[in-house]
A = this chain, B = another copy of it.
């Protein structure tokens, strides 16, 4: 290969995707929306077809030393379902391509597929294709998910309007703290035969990291309550990052309140044990797979009645920027930390 100049980490993850995909004009009437949302929106007949894809690489996105392979398969499927729900759609099919090196056996692959199968069963999704091939360097999992929605139901990330209420489901930061715990116990246990990590009282944050769920239930409840969000995303890279995406796409600003951010007790305990800033973990930890969405002010009362949904702030005009309002009333500009590590070989 020629020796050229721009290192990839100079552009960052999102900058890189934008840079590489900006010259791809869309030509087909069957394409409504390409790059730039949780899923692409395709139009076939009277249906909108949603497509999302995720590439998971060993040593970057997961570590088989402490992630059971069945959980890995489950999570790989779930994160794709989550992207379809985040468009207010229903996931219908997935394809699964796996690359494995020879240190993996058929039983290892069976474990991965059993996790995928369980996820498919619970969420009513069909596995329709893909393949398994050799890899010279560890495990590679690529999943594409296809979903469907009536065109009028699809929710993009670009529809937020000033005065809209910002809502988030569940709680945040737990998956991140679960990862910190797994990594610590892995370090502590290294070289010790029969080492048994102590996870008691920390089951919730572990489960959030190892076996997350997609918020199908929230989508169904919103529909039942007659609420259609103006914008929606799932929280995969962290609340700060997703808020910035919605505000950029919608050309708005936002204010979210530190004391409204939903955080579980175990997450808080773990952050204290690690001497980490709890709000930073909740705002930037990522992998929560909760739904972040905006609704018109008029839906205030309906949202208030919904269990498992918290109102955390509101949408503003763009010139006000995006900020976290701290407990003492200070405004901290939101920063996207996202996932941005291009590691050295």
Contacts and interface: CB of A to CB of B under 8 A. Distances in A.
Interface of A: 1-2, 4-11, 13, 16-17, 19-21, 23-24, 26-28, 30-31, 33-35, 39-40, 42, 44-47, 49, 51-55, 57-61, 64, 69, 92-93, 95, 97-110, 113, 117, 120, 124-138, 140, 142, 144, 146, 148, 339, 341-345
Given A40-B95, A51-B129, A136-B57, A106 B34 contact: no
Contacts of A16: 106, 109, 132
A52 B135 contact: no
Given A4-B105, A10-B106, A28-B126, A55 B21 contact: no
Contacts of A144: 51, 53, 95, 144
Given A35-B127, A45-B46, A138 B140 contact: no
Contacts of A106: 4, 6-8, 10-11, 16, 19
19 contacts: A8-B100, A21-B127, A23-B117, A24-B126, A28-B124, A31-B93, A42-B128, A44-B47, A53-B129, A53-B131, A54-B131, A55-B97, A55-B140, A59-B136, A60-B133, A99-B140, A101-B343, A137-B345, A146-B146
Nearest to A23: B117
A26 B40 CA distance: 24
- Nearest 10 A-B pairs (CB), nearest first? A45-B45, A137-B137, A4-B107, A40-B128, A55-B97, A6-B106, A142-B142, A34-B128, A59-B136, A144-B144
A124 B339 CA distance: 33
Nearest to A135: B57
A302 to B, nearest CB: 30
Interface of chain A, helix or strand or loop or mixed? mixed
A60 B99 contact: yes
Copy total for this chain: 2
A283 B2 CA distance: 36
A113 B20 contact: yes
A102 B35 contact: no
Contacts of A97: 53-55, 142
B21 A113 contact: yes
Contact of A126 (B31, B134, B146, B341): B31
Contacts of A26: 126, 128
A22 B45 CA distance: 31
A105 B7 contact: yes
A101 B40 CA distance: 26
A234 B101 CA distance: 27
A302 B256 CA distance: 69
A44 B135 contact: no
B104 A8 contact: yes
A343 B102 contact: yes
A107 B6 contact: yes
B341 A129 contact: no
B99 A133 contact: no
A51 B93 contact: yes
Contacts of A58: 136
A246 to B, nearest CB: 18
A339 to B, nearest CB: 8
